Amino acid sequence: MKFTSTHRMAVAASAIIVLALTGCTSSGSEGASGSGESDTGTVRIGINESLSGNLVAYGISASAAIRMAAEEINDAGGIQVDGVSYSIELVERDNLSTPTGAVAAQTELVEDEGIKFIFGPTIGALSLQSVEIGKGQDVIQLSPSGAWQVSGYVSNPDYPYVFSTQVAQDELAVVRVDLIEQIGADVVGLLGSDDDTTAGTVPPIQAELEKRGIEVVDVRFPTDASDLSPYLTRLKSEGADVVFYVYPQARGAEAARITADLGAAKGFVTTNTPASVALEEAVGGPLPIPWASAYGTPSFEYPANERIEAFTEKILAFEPKLPLDVASAVFWFYDYVAMLAEAMEQAGSVEDVPAIAEALQSITYDGVAGRICYRENERIPSADIGSVFVVDGEVESKNTPSSCD
């Protein structure tokens, strides 16, 4: 077919009409259309997560939780602001599990897409650089990053829109050191991979241990360490009574078993995982030494309650391939999407970032993970802390409620 000038004009005119129509009906981050009771709009929320690479398990857990929460909010009618129903539109970017990838994803979301609300990255090692991209801009960023807390981003007034979604590390440290004292220790061996996540988790525990007069031996292994035996032998030779295993959680069972096999310590304490059933499965029976775990999110196992069980069923139906060894990461996101939506409703805006941040700071929310609220003058949440203490397979679980009113 030969194109004539008439054809070209027709095509150009059609393109202009399509573009014009698109501009009218779709929205940018806060667009609204229509009138009266049927007013609708869209709020765009970014996800900067590890959707590939070696941290993909955390990324897909986070992404699943955010997608499910957004879907539920949309199905329930969206975010209601001034008579307009805003549905959530998610924009996902893969940070490739690398710090440079996290920066690139953040830049794309903030600069190119103009997004003002971003979840992630989950892992501390990726979160530190990405936070600088939003500095000085009206962008609310939420992540469980422990490194943010230790580095002071979530208390620093220069970063007023950076919000942690992980329970305060110092509150967690108190519960964790209580567990260590329950086993009894003069010397505690801290063991974790040599990265920003461990670096972000250790200082509050170390400070709490030293406050109680307990000596600390800190041993880090390279992230690609093939065998943990020599590291535990080192802790044993340094006289550790209890091993406190920090990160990554996926190697917790391995560390526990080697601790018991080598007689490296008389007790074992971990951070968020493993749950006792998973640990028994991995060890081949109850761990022959006392072990304990305290975590800032509910695990899928403890404290067992109907709310967690129902949520577990729901999220596994939503994302059947969820890797359960790290899936407690979903609790760092699911409730916070709803909290952000509630903050927008309270602020009466989906674009006024300072007002939304202020509302988010003041909300007390009853979520799946328990009662959540932000501390005064800090963007660090107080939330329920679950813990287990296991001796000879007998499990004693405890819930330390958040300090929210």
Partner 1 sequence: MTSLVQLLFDGLVGGAIYALIALGITLVYGLTKIIHFAVGEMVTFGAFLALTFLGLTGGNYVIALLSAIVGVSLLGLVTERTMFRFTFDSPLSGFIVSLGLILVLQGVIVEIWTSGSQSARPAVGGAIDISGVSLRYQSMINLALAAVILGSFYLILRRTKFGQALRATSDDREAALLMGVPIRTIAMTTFVIASALAGVAGWIVLTMGTVSPFVGTSYVLRGFAVALIGGLGSVSGAVIAGVGLGVVENLAIGFLPPGWTDVYVFALVVVVLLIRPTGLRAGAEGAHL
Q: What does the binding site for partner 1 look like in residue numbers (CB under 8 A)?
A: 54, 56-57, 60, 194, 219-222, 224-231, 233-234, 236-237, 248, 250-251, 253-254, 257-258, 261-263, 274, 278, 281-285, 321, 323-326
- Residue (324 or 363) nearer to partner 1, CB: 324
Residue 79 pairs with which residues in a beta bridge? Answer: 86
Integer angstrom CA distances of residue 31 from 9, 28, 89, 132: 31, 5, 11, 27
- Residue (297 or 402) nearer to partner 1, CB: 297
Dihedral angle of Cα 282, 283, 287, 293, to the nearest 10 degrees: -30
- Residue (181 or 215) nearer to partner 1, CB: 215
- Residue (152 or 222) nearer to partner 1, CB: 222
- Residue (131 or 240) nearer to partner 1, CB: 240
The minimum distance between CB 131 and partner 1, in angstroms, equals 25
The minimum distance between CB 362 and partner 1, in angstroms, equals 36
d(CA 215, CA 199): 18
The minimum distance between CB 92 and partner 1, in angstroms, equals 15
Burial class of residue 201 in the structure, from the number of CB atoms within 10 Å of its CB (0-12 exposed, 13-18 middle, 19+ buried): buried
User: 218: which 2 tokens?
Assistant: 């800190």
Positive or negative: CA dihedral 317, 322, 324, 329: negative
The minimum distance between CB 248 and partner 1, in angstroms, equals 8
Kindly report the number of other CB atoms within 10 A of residue 121's CB atom.
33
Contacts of residue 181, defined as CB under 8 A and 6 or more positions apart, other chains included, come to: 212, 214
- Residue (159 or 231) nearer to partner 1, CB: 231
Do the Cβ atoms of 281 and 274 come closer than 8 Å? no
The minimum distance between CB 146 and partner 1, in angstroms, equals 18
Q: Beta-strand (E) ranges in 262-308? A: 267-270, 291-295
The minimum distance between CB 219 and partner 1, in angstroms, equals 5
- Residue (91 or 278) nearer to partner 1, CB: 278
- Residue (174 or 282) nearer to partner 1, CB: 282
Instruction: Write out the DSSP string of 297-328.
Output: S--SSSS--HHHHHHHHHHHHH-TT--TTTGG
Instruction: Write out the DSSP string of 59-79.
Output: HHHHHHHHHHHHHHHHHTT-E
Residue type, 201: T
Residue 84 pairs with which residues in a beta bridge? Answer: 81
DSSP 376: T
* φ, ψ of residue 30 in degrees (nearest 5): -135, 30
The minimum distance between CB 240 and partner 1, in angstroms, equals 13
d(CA 137, CA 148): 18
- Residue (108 or 280) nearer to partner 1, CB: 280
Three-class secondary structure of residue 290 per DSSP = coil
The minimum distance between CB 59 and partner 1, in angstroms, equals 8
The minimum distance between CB 207 and partner 1, in angstroms, equals 20
